[in-house]
Structure 1
């Protein structure tokens, strides 16, 4: 793969869609996304075919399960920041009464809507064109997106590594001050960021990762759920043979999870001090 294939951060959305398309074609697929190939297009397919896909595929499945679990716990609205070419409202059994808000850059949002024209989501989608680095625009969007909701989930899949630490800190503060009940993210330790940039730096080009931290970076938040990418990948036979021993590791980090700099996975945060009501529907638990 040449560097020109990854022209900017928006191209990572095609890249990830390409991974979903490849996974969907497997007889033992962890998920099925019939729209992924069309969204990825030739460039996304080429990028996915030339790079390692297992961490992204496992991330997708882990977040799928946590989203369904959060809905079972009473979530009545989902806000997907940097939604990219995500298709969960189409491929997951999202209840029809859920409002699913998506925000991303204008060009990427317009491309996605053109490909999805004629497709029908399971729930109500509300699409907004927002530059998430514009604090004022993001604040206005969150006010609109949370209005009238009781239990809001914010998803930031694949977003944080491309931001600076200051930008992530501002986002964390803004979400904490908003009526948000859960924040769901893919979390990558500094060691993983180093490995990604070292092995994929040429392909990523200007889309290299910037942010990585231990979970204690997110002040004012409590870890509600956490599932290890490496453990899940080994259990689901998606990681290389050399990493299959990770299936024997605990789902959480060895030692205090919040301070670990050697753990990566899917994480659900809640505002510190918030009380979690009991689930009112059958919970969709992540495979352990």
Structure 2
């Protein structure tokens, strides 16, 4: 079922980027060889209108690979017994509905209240049913969201799978450090963290046009990371998987990168573990 929402404000500013990501997921879901299927992505886009995020469609190839990379990270964590999952800046993510979670999984979604209200309305209209226990928490991740997470049933003594997708570049470096400290304090040994990051050269180079588009939406990238492995280590995490662009394309069968230095540059995706 498509059409605009009623009684709710549509996403604006940084929340509009979630619609842009939904466009990429909808496009990938339409492919016969899609890396995943998101049955609700199109409904989010239709509720807002693709024109609201014109220019982000060119980002769809990266969105597809990023989504699948994180799907794999979370499902491998589930295989290792992680039954507690936290999506930081969940946006219009539908993993609670589309992934085959093991029994006993409790998934928490945190994001800005207006965006979550929009999301819940669309999901309700689509008749979406979660495949795990799902708790939605309105939160500004620049503030202290940890008491609300604990109050909602989060157990800091249990190893947790954390996902920070499409989040770090939109926060300042100081806010990222604070976020990492808060996540670390809630993470038992064996917890896992997956995230994406942006390096300065990529922002100025291949993603310069995307950066300009985001500036126009009022959702600028505020920070970059030169050394993601070092940054994670400084916050108590050991990187387990940080593929290059060439390796990532090969992993998911999406062709070969053009010859040149970009092939061996980090992909901007990383998965880490908190060792005891």
TM-score normalized with structure 2 length: 0.82
What are the Cα deviations for residues 229-261 of structure 1, in whole angstroms up to 9, with x where unaligned?
44323554546x7x2558xx6xxx6xxxxxxxx
- Is 1:123 the counterpart of 2:135? The answer is no
Is the Cα contact below 8 Å between 1:59 and 1:229 reproduced in 2?
no
1:210 CA displacement: 1.8
Please tell me whether the aligned partners of residues 189 and 212 of structure 1 are also in contact (alpha carbons under 8 angstroms): yes
The residue that corresponds to 2:72 in the other structure is 65
CA contact 2:82–2:159 (8 Å) conserved in 1: yes
Which residue of structure 2 aligns with residue 169 of structure 1? 177
Q: Secondary structure at the match of 1:146?
A: coil
Instruction: State whether residues 58 and 229 of structure 1, in contact with CA within 8 Å, keep that contact through their aligned partners in structure 2.
Output: no
Determine if contact 2:248/2:267 at 8 Å carries over to the other structure: no
Greater relative contact order (CA < 8 Å, ≥ 6 in sequence): 1
- Find the counterpart in structure 1 of residue 238 from structure 2: 222
Q: After superposing the two structures, state which structure 1 stretch, 217-226 or 107-116, moved more.
A: 217-226
Alignment of 1:174-193 (within 5 A): 174-180=182-188, 181-193=191-203
Shift of 1:225: 2.4
Say whether the 8 Å CA contact 1:237–1:244 is kept in structure 2.
Answer: no
Task: Within 5 Å, give how 1:24-35 maps onto structure 2.
Answer: 24-35=29-40
Q: Is the 8 A contact 1:197 1:208 kept in 2?
A: no
Q: How many residues align?
A: 253
Instruction: Give me the TM-score of the superposition, normalised by structure 1.
Output: 0.79
Q: Could you tell me whether the CA contact under 8 Å between 1:146 and 1:152 is conserved in 2?
A: no
Question: Are residues 1:16 and 2:21 paired?
Answer: yes
Q: Once the 2 structures are TM-superposed, how far is the Cα of residue 7 of structure 1 from its aligned partner?
A: 4.7
Gaps of at least 5 residues in structure 2 are 1-9
Query: Which residue in the other structure is 2:158 paired with?
Result: 150
Query: What displacement does 1:228 show?
Result: 3.4
Question: In angstroms, what is the RMSD of aligned CA positions?
Answer: 2.6
Q: Which has the higher mean CA deviation after the structures are superposed, 229-238 or 18-27?
A: 229-238
Range with bigger deviation, 28-37 or 174-183: 174-183
Aligned-partner SS, 2:21: helix
Change in Cα spacing, 1:148 to 1:270, as seen in structure 2 (3 Å) is: closer
Distance 2:70 2:18 in 1: 16
Partner of 2:91: 84
What displacement does 1:10 show?
0.2
Change (3 A) 1:20 1:154: same
Query: In the TM superposition, what whole-angstrom CA distance separates every residue of 1:16-52 from its partner, at most 9, and x where no partner exists?
Result: 0111001100111111111110012264534367423
1:263 aligns with 2:271: no
